[in-house]
Amino acid sequence: MKSFLEQTTRELRKKIGSKRVLCALSGGVDSTVVALLLHRMIDHRLKCILVNNGVLRKNEASQVVSLFRQYFKIPLAYVDAEAQFLKKLRGITDPEEKRKRIGKEFITLFEKEARKMGTVQYLAQGTLYPDVIESVSFKGPSATIKSHHNVGGLPKRMRLKLVEPLRELFKDEVRRLGRVLGLPEEMIKRQPFPGPGLAIRVIGEVTRERLAVLRDADEIVVEEMKKGGLLDEVWQSFAVLLPVKTVGVMGDERSYENVVALRAVGSQDGMTADWVRLPYEMLEVISNRIINEVKGVNRVVYDISSKPPSTIEWE
């Protein structure tokens, strides 16, 4: 991995030269590794930017801002764009269209920020090889499984040139690179989170109300997985809000509310994955808490599908 770091550093220096770079930050390990790599190389010529697109997890934006400004001591610009992203997603139910609208809006915002900086020519992002494989053909013919917002979801015409130093790496390789760069173990072990965020875990139309339900349910999943000591042991564990309602009994009254699906998978690189056999007791606690604590949910189901044939995310 050290040889990869040295080779990548040489290639980036040759490509970027004395230019300034805008780094799209999500707070995940991929974009964080890219930010640290570039900051080590070009220092003040790098500007990191976190865009709150309205589909982040609960308190995620504030956590990322704190991590970069206080822990890494790397300047970070924060843009609250929740209203405009949700406006673009209004009425949209097709997952491909969601991803493309999010990708296009990201680029629009980044190009606007680049103009403020003056001479920025490059946009850096944490694209990985699995993103490329599922979105476009990279090293041979392959079918498009889904357009990742940072690959197939990007607009065809962009003013900024892309810098993607992790484009040929898998997630486990990025984590090894993170250790070489001195990334904290807690950050390295953080579960992958999709670029389109909760927009592809709210199945169907994305609204503020549905996002609020999902955030509350997802937070319970994280809390209970952490209590059970399994949060760092699985590849991903999360909640999905389904576009169906079911009849239930809440107290002595009939209810007709939402269904939440739980998803927990184990994997090495995200290319294949198997569903995790969570303890029944943990599933029981998570289910009871979601139904009792999250308003608007009366049923919880568990996804026991592997990849392939299913993908890890539902959309």
pLDDT of residue 154: 61
Task: Name the DSSP class of 276.
Answer: -
pLDDT 10s digits, 108-148: 998 888 888 777 889 999 999 888 886 554 445 445 555 54
Half-sphere exposure of 284 (CA within 13 A, CB side): 3
Q: What's the rounded mean pLDDT across residues 58-70?
A: 90
User: Residue 110: phi, psi to the nearest 5?
Assistant: -65, -40
Query: How many Cβ atoms sit within 10 Å of the Cβ of residue 233?
Result: 13
215 to 93, 96, 152, 221: CA distances (angstroms) = 19, 22, 27, 10
Cα 20-21-25 angle, rounded to 5 deg: 155
Q: Which residues neighbour 46 within 8 Å (Cβ) at sequence distance 6 or greater? A: 20, 21, 23, 35, 38, 39, 74, 124
DSSP string, 106-138: HHHHHHHHHHHHSSEEEEE----HHHHHHHS-S
Distance CA 80, CA 27 (A): 15
pLDDT of residue 256: 96
Q: Tokens 């609960």 label which residue?
A: 58
Q: What's the rounded mean pLDDT across residues 68-75?
A: 88
Which H or E element spans position 224? helix 208-227
pTM score > 0.75 for this model?
A: yes
- Which of 79-93, 119-133, 269-283 is predicted with the least confidence, judged by mean pLDDT? 119-133
User: Residue 255: phi, psi to the nearest 5?
Assistant: -125, 155
Task: Using a pLDDT cut of 90, give the percent of the chain over it.
Answer: 66
pLDDT of residue 289: 98
pLDDT of residue 164: 94
pLDDT at residue 5 greater than cutoff 90: no
In the chain, list all ranges with CATH 3.30.300.10. Answer: 201-302
**Helix (H, G, I), strand (E, B), or coil: what is residue 176?**
helix
Distance CA 153, CA 135 (A): 8
Distance CA 53, CA 80 (A): 7
pLDDT of residue 138: 44
pLDDT band at 75 (very low <50, low <70, confident <90, very high): confident
More confident residue, 53 or 136: 53
pLDDT of residue 139: 47
Q: In CATH, what is the architecture of 2-188? A: 3-Layer(aba) Sandwich (3.40)
pLDDT 10s digits, 216-249: 999 999 999 999 999 999 999 999 999 999 999 9
- Mean model confidence pLDDT for the chain: 90
pLDDT of residue 9: 87
pLDDT of residue 28: 86
Secondary-structure percent of the chain, ordered helix, strand, coil, rounded to 5: 45, 20, 35
In the chain, list all ranges with CATH 3.40.50.620. Answer: 2-188
Q: What's the rounded mean pLDDT across residues 267-293?
A: 96
**Following CA atoms 66, 38, 146, 88 in sequence, which dihedral angle do they give, to the nearest 10 degrees?**
50
Q: In CATH, what is the architecture of 201-302? A: 2-Layer Sandwich (3.30)
Distance CA 287, CA 31 (A): 33
How do strand 297-302 and strand 253-266 relate by DSSP bridges? parallel
Q: Which residues neighbour 311 within 8 Å (Cβ) at sequence distance 6 or greater? A: 134, 145, 146
pLDDT 10s digits, 136-187: 544 454 455 555 444 445 666 778 899 999 999 999 999 999 999 988 888 8
